[in-house]
């Protein structure tokens, strides 16, 4: 008999964890989606349709969930596994590395409170790798310790993984925290999930997922901004290369026309060319150059193409779509982590 793992998708966004879990096909276990929590309206709308969540328990704000500290709160339906890609603004560069002192960093404590109260069998949490450098690494140490000790105690594994090692042409690093309740297993010495050969993936490079036909003219760099975006000021280090076969990490603010060293831009010569691995000669004065479209963004994060249709049917603006995409967890990373973690423990404990 397969174990049915009921999961609660917290800080659900547009469902990176959900899509990753749903792709897993195991002889030992299967999943049941029981609840999700997400505060942002656009994310809720997309999630509800794309993740078929109309009849799933929905909680808007994690701070309203019942825990020991909030006994009158909303009780989450019975669940075995917690997924949580908790907001990372306070941990990333843009958040000034305030860590726990920032109210958004405090959301981590709600995860601890939930683990303490509901005592799920398993959890997988995700965050930005910058967490390593906050307070000289002490913050990460404190988080790991807390996750091991909370509730009845958990066996904890943490992995730093790059999306391009797991089937997506994007340089996106994430740290994962995987826990299994101590009473359920002996601690295993498990390595990170086995890497995937990108050349055999659905989209081996950005070129493979770029729309080859006409796209909305709004996606082309406006004439007045070309110089600032595409040329490197003399006092700058780093590259402003466009036409990268492996994309830079997608950002939530990519509608703001960042400089080329912070974002992803592609020339018509590359898009229409025949060599995905080589940058063509481009006249940056005159050649049309564009940002990625929302469909390409969803693909770069591993979401199925239906996401772009759903977002446009819901009349979600481009900038709001980029925000959802840029905040998302790559589906292929979620898939690799959840599968490897559960396969290791559920196989071993059979």
Ligand X SMILES: C[S@@+](CC[C@H](N)C(=O)[O-])C[C@H]1O[C@@H](n2cnc3c(N)ncnc32)[C@H](O)[C@@H]1O
Largest interatomic CA distance in the chain: 65
Distance, in Å, from the CA atom of 301 to the CA atom of 311, rounded to the nearest integer, reads: 15
- Pick 62 or 115: Cβ nearer ligand X: 62
* Nearest-approach distance from CB 338 to ligand X, in angstroms: 12
Q: Which of 7, 8, 14, 338 is close enough to bind ligand X by CB under 6 A?
A: 14
- Pick 42 or 269: Cβ nearer ligand X: 42
In 215-293, alpha helices (H): 226-230, 268-272
* Nearest-approach distance from CB 61 to ligand X, in angstroms: 4
Supply φ then ψ for residue 237, to 5 degrees. Answer: -90, 175
Which of these segments, 33-41, 147-155, 229-237, 307-315, binds ligand X (CB under 6 A)?
Answer: 33-41
Q: Which of 244, 293, 327, 344 is close enough to bind ligand X by CB under 6 A?
A: 327
- Pick 163 or 329: Cβ nearer ligand X: 329
- Pick 87 or 204: Cβ nearer ligand X: 87
Query: Hey, which residues are catalytic here?
Result: 88
Q: Which of 8, 11, 154, 159 is close enough to bind ligand X by CB under 6 A?
A: 11
Distance, in Å, from the CA atom of 285 to the CA atom of 302, rounded to the nearest integer, reads: 33
Distance, in Å, from the CA atom of 174 to the CA atom of 125, rounded to the nearest integer, reads: 10
- Whole-number CA gyration radius for the chain: 21
* Nearest-approach distance from CB 223 to ligand X, in angstroms: 34
- Pick 13 or 167: Cβ nearer ligand X: 13
Q: Can residue 87 be called a binding residue for ligand X (CB under 6 A)?
A: yes
Show Cβ contacts of residue 145 under 8 Å, excluding neighbours closer than 6 positions.
none
- Pick 21 or 289: Cβ nearer ligand X: 21
Tokens for 46, please give them. 């997309």
Q: Which residue has the tokens 């981590």?
A: 108
Burial class (CB in 10 A: 0-12, 13-18, 19+), 125: buried
- Pick 193 or 297: Cβ nearer ligand X: 297
* Nearest-approach distance from CB 191 to ligand X, in angstroms: 24
* Nearest-approach distance from CB 252 to ligand X, in angstroms: 9
Which of these segments, 32-40, 68-76, 168-176, 208-216, binds ligand X (CB under 6 A)?
Answer: 32-40
Q: Which of 244, 264, 245, 246 lies closest to 254 in space, CA to CA?
A: 264
| Residues 153-212 interacting with ligand X (rule: CB under 6 A) | none
* Total count of residues recorded for the chain: 350
Q: How many positions of this chain bind ligand X (CB under 6 A)?
A: 21
> Buried b vs exposed e over 73-107: b needs ≥16 C-beta within 10 Å?
beebeebbbbbbbbbbbbbbeebebebbebebbeb
Q: Which of 7, 35, 48, 85 is close enough to bind ligand X by CB under 6 A?
A: 85
Q: Which residues pair with 275 in a beta bridge?
A: none
Q: Which of 328, 333, 342, 346 is close enough to bind ligand X by CB under 6 A?
A: 328
Q: Are 143 and 131 in contact (CB under 8 A)?
A: yes
Which of these segments, 220-228, 240-248, 268-276, 326-334, binds ligand X (CB under 6 A)?
Answer: 326-334
Q: Which residue has the tokens 């808007």?
A: 60
Tokens for 141, please give them. 């140490």
Here's the x/- map for ligand X, 39-68, by CB under 6 A: it reads as xx--x-----------------xxx-----
* Nearest-approach distance from CB 256 to ligand X, in angstroms: 18
> How many CB atoms neighbour CB 169 within 10 A?
23
Here's the x/- map for ligand X, 96-135, by CB under 6 A: it reads as -----------x----------------------------
* Interface ranges with ligand X (CB under 6 A): 11, 13-17, 37-40, 43, 61-63, 85, 87-88, 107, 327-329
């Amino acid at each position: 008999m397969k174990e049915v793992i009921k999961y609660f998708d917290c800080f659900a966004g547009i469902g990176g964890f959900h899509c990753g879990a749903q792709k897993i096909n195991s002889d030992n276990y299967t999943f049941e989606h029981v609840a999700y929590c997400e505060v942002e309206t656009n994310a809720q709308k997309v999630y509800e349709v794309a993740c078929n969540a109309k009849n799933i328990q929905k909680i808007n704000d994690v701070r309203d969930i019942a825990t020991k500290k909030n006994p009158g709160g909303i009780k989450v339906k019975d669940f075995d596994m917690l997924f949580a890609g908790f907001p990372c603004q306070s941990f990333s560069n843009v958040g000034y590395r305030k860590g726990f002192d920032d109210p958004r960093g405090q959301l981590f404590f709600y995860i601890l409170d939930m683990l303490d109260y509901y005592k799920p069998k398993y959890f997988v949490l995700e965050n930005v790798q910058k967490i390593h450098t906050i307070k000289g690494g002490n913050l990460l140490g404190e988080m790991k310790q807390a996750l091991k000790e909370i509730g009845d105690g958990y066996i904890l594994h943490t992995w730093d993984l790059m999306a391009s090692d797991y089937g997506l042409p994007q340089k996106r690093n994430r740290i994962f925290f995987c826990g299994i309740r101590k009473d359920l297993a002996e601690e295993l010495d498990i390595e990170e999930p086995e890497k995937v050969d990108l050349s055999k993936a659905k989209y081996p490079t950005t070129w493979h997922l770029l729309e080859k036909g006409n796209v909305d003219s709004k996606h082309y760099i406006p004439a007045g901004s070309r110089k600032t975006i595409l040329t490197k000021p003399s006092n700058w280090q780093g590259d402003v290369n466009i036409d990268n076969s492996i994309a830079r990490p997608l950002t939530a603010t990519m509608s703001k026309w960042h400089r080329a060293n912070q974002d992803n831009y592609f020339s018509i010569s590359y898009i229409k060319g025949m060599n995905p691995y080589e940058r063509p000669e481009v006249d940056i004065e005159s050649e049309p150059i564009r940002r990625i479209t929302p469909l390409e963004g969803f693909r770069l994060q591993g979401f199925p193409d239906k996401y772009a249709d759903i977002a446009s049917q819901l009349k979600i603006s481009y900038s709001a779509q980029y925000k959802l995409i840029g905040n998302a967890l790559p589906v292929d990373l979620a898939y690799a982590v959840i599968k490897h973690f559960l396969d290791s423990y559920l196989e071993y404990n059979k």
